[in-house]
Amino acid sequence: EVQLVQSGAEVKKPGESLRISCRGSGYSFTNYWISWVRQMPGKGLEWMGKIDPSDSYINYSPSFQGHVTISADKSIGTAYLQWSSLKASDTAMYYCARRMTTVTTSYFDPWGQGTLVTVSS
């Protein structure tokens, strides 16, 4: 079974750093890009960026460029999303998803279970 398993919920203070993880299993991790998606409380889905685990090439959404860092360790089949200085506005659920691609399109399947990040003083 193809699965993405994310790390657990986090509660942090403003200014702190954080790294959350997404481990893939049941498929060849380096054959598919991993994307990260944000969902703020009561809001919709926002694409943050994606990484090719085979060479760690990264593409960020302009909305998130410079605010987060995406990385991956192909040796352990894990992708990461990290912040160097959290803000209260980073409070959200974060999902990773395997990116399925064809010549003309891409979509996401499956998704991780989500990691809830709460930033509060």
**Among residues 32, 95, 117, 119, the one that binds another protein under rule CB under 8 A:** 95
Q: How many CA atoms lie less than 13 Å away from 81 in the CB half-sphere?
A: 32
**Among residues 15, 31, 100, 120, the one that binds another protein under rule CB under 8 A:** 100
Using rule CB under 8 A, residue 5 touches another protein: no
Using rule CB under 8 A, residue 83 touches another protein: no
Residue range at the interface with another protein (CB under 8 A); choices 8-16, 18-26, 79-87, 106-114: 106-114
d(CA 108, CA 73): 20
Cβ–Cβ under 8 Å, residues 47 and 39: no
Which of the residues 27 through 46 are near another protein (CB under 8 A)? 35, 37, 44-46
Cβ–Cβ under 8 Å, residues 8 and 117: no
Q: Left (φ > 0), alpha (ψ -120 to 50) or beta: where does 100 sit?
A: beta
Residue range at the interface with another protein (CB under 8 A); choices 7-15, 20-28, 57-65, 74-82: 57-65
